[in-house]
Amino acid sequence: MQGLMKYYDIDGDGNITYEEFLRGMRDELSQRKKDMVDRAFTLLDKDGSGIVNGADIAHLYDVSHHKEF
């Protein structure tokens, strides 16, 4: 999760905005790809604030299924 935040959180404020998320995708997006990104961001942005933070991601990732943790 820290790597994800470091990669996408361009301004270092501890949150991932929609623009930072798009920028992290790097390639020019076709409309189809942009629609997929929109759906992915909506899944991550649990509270609909337009910002993804650690709390938004925590509900999607259960480390108990990974033997390293």
Q: What is the pLDDT of residue 12?
A: 92
CB atoms within 10 A of CB 10: 14
Tokens for 51? 């910002």
Q: What pTM did the predictor assign?
A: 0.53
Q: What is the pLDDT of residue 27?
A: 66
Contacts 24+ apart (CB under 8 A), 58-63: 58/1, 61/1
Q: What is the pLDDT of residue 11?
A: 93
Q: What is the pLDDT of residue 55?
A: 82
Q: What is the pLDDT of residue 44?
A: 86
Q: Give me the average pLDDT of each 10-residue run along the chain (69 residues).
A: 83 91 79 87 88 81 72
What residue ranges define each of the domains in the chain, with the CATH number in brackets?
2-65 (1.10.238.10)
Q: What is the pLDDT of residue 47?
A: 85
Q: Which residues pair with 17 in a beta bridge?
A: 51
